[in-house]
Structure 1
Amino acid sequence: MMRLFAKSEQGAAMVEMTIVAPLLFALTLGFVDFGYALYQWNGATKAVQVGARLASISDPVVSKTTLANAAPSDVPGAPVPADAYLFICQYTGNTGACKDKNGTSTNFDTNASNAFSRIFRGDTAVTNDDACPALTGTQRPGMCHFFPGLLRTNIVITYSATGLGFQTRLNGPVPTITVELQNRTFQFFFLSGLMGFGNINMPSMLSTVTGEDLKTSAPS
């Protein structure tokens, strides 16, 4: 009897499946999770591209007067030197501010908040939060529509001098605008829940364009 039991192969397939199934499921769900990570990467890339485009044709987040006075004006018509000015605008919590190259920080006024809001949420209603309202009609999307879950604190908008424009130009200097995403992680669901796989920090990504008219009415 024992000899027959030792030679019996009944149930072998079930045992093998029990051993292989966890690995198979982990691989399958891993592919799903990493596919979603690629989707997040593409969404973030598109978001910074859209944000840079909106920033280039919209009112600047930094005050127009501040930006215009940042460039030298001692030699009218002369090129604006590179690195003549730099403004870094971002939110910390619910407070937005622009910092110049000397480290002086100026909190957002209403115009700055509205300008940042337009870059963040497009042509939808202006609100002082991280909400991303649904688009209606012909409203243009903002960054949040391409990257769900995006927060204002993840966005850094930089206006810098790179040698474009000339001193005492009527509409002010021509800044180079950079929109950057930072402090985001790739979100994992299956791997995180089943295997304790931690979220991975997403590399900072950015898009840089040349400022155009810097006014809301500029054509798209």
Structure 2
Amino acid sequence: MRKFFSQQSGTALTEGVIIFPIMVLAVAACVEFGFLLHQWNTGAKAMQLGVRKLIVSDPVTPDFYSVFSFDDSQTGGLIAPNAGAVSTCGANTGVTCNAALMQRIVSGSGSWQGLQAFFPALQVDDITVTYQLNGLGYQGRPDGPVVSVRMELARNAINLPITSAILDLIDISFPSFAVTATSEDLQSCPDGCS
């Protein structure tokens, strides 16, 4: 037995067997982290472009005009900010957005490439859109109210095989991508669509 324990042959193989799984895990973590950064950047860019399109498009929420109805007798009066005046639709809201308008923003039409050109995994169901009264504009404005438009990408749009499983396992929330901009005319075709 003493002779067996004093043998040095096979030491390198034993060390290799111990270190190999650790090295594979380290390389896999680096690859997964790079994949995470790539998806994070493309998702953020898609949301930036999406909110730019939303601020010059018809509202996608079904209750927009009932939430932001104004008193015509006060035409020209400033609109007071109201954090309670919110119209939202999309992922995790229980309210469905206008399918045709959202599909045009996500898939593109005409010269507009759509968000899937930048983030191919993106689906209409992964997006939440929120309009909120911000105190800009005036009653009776011809182009409608001036609101803050927020576009948010739900977590399930991000495809991370290992990281997502670990985050779920230890119950760490993955931050969403959200971009906010101030609306402009909220009309897809101000001069009329052909």
TM-score range, shorter chain: 0.7 to 0.9
Q: Which amino acid aligns with 1:18?
A: V
> Comparing both structures, which one devotes a greater share of its residues to helix?
2
Contact conserved, 1:70 with 1:85, CA < 8 A, in 2? no
Report the equivalent of 1:113: 99
Describe how 1:51-200 pairs up with structure 2 within 5 A: 51-62=50-61, 66=65, 70-83=69-82, 85-90=85-90, 96-97=96-97, 112-123=98-109, 139-184=111-156, 186-189=158-161, 197=166
Deviation at 1:46, TM superposition (A): 1.3
Contact conserved, 1:180 with 1:205, CA < 8 A, in 2? yes
Distance 1:190 1:79, change over 3 A: closer
* TM-score, normalisation: structure 1: 0.70
Give % identity: 29
Q: State the alpha-carbon separation in 2 of the partners of residues 58 and 114 from structure 1.
A: 12
For residues 138-172 of structure 1, the C-alpha deviation after alignment (integer angstroms, 9 at most, x for no partner) is x3232333333223222111122111111111222
* TM-score, normalisation: structure 2: 0.78
Unaligned runs of 5+ in 2: none
Q: Which amino acid aligns with 2:120?
A: P
How much is the aligned-residue C-alpha RMSD, in angstroms? 3.3
Q: State the alpha-carbon separation in 1 of the partners of residues 162 and 103 from structure 2.
A: 34
Contact conserved, 1:88 with 1:159, CA < 8 A, in 2? yes
Describe how 1:15-26 pairs up with structure 2 within 5 A: 15-26=14-25
Unaligned runs of 5+ in 1: 98-111, 125-138
For residues 11-51 of structure 1, the C-alpha deviation after alignment (integer angstroms, 9 at most, x for no partner) is 32222111111101111111111221122211221121111
Q: State the alpha-carbon separation in 2 of the partners of residues 33 and 59 from structure 1.
A: 39
Does 1:33 find its partner at 2:7? Answer: no
Q: State the alpha-carbon separation in 2 of the partners of residues 80 and 191 from structure 1.
A: 46
Distance 1:58 1:67, change over 3 A: farther
Partner SS for 1:20: helix
For residues 118-146 of structure 1, the C-alpha deviation after alignment (integer angstroms, 9 at most, x for no partner) is 2222226xxxxxxxxxxxxxx32323333
Distance 1:149 1:14, change over 3 A: same
Distance 1:182 1:21, change over 3 A: same
Distance 1:49 1:20, change over 3 A: same
Partner SS for 1:175: strand
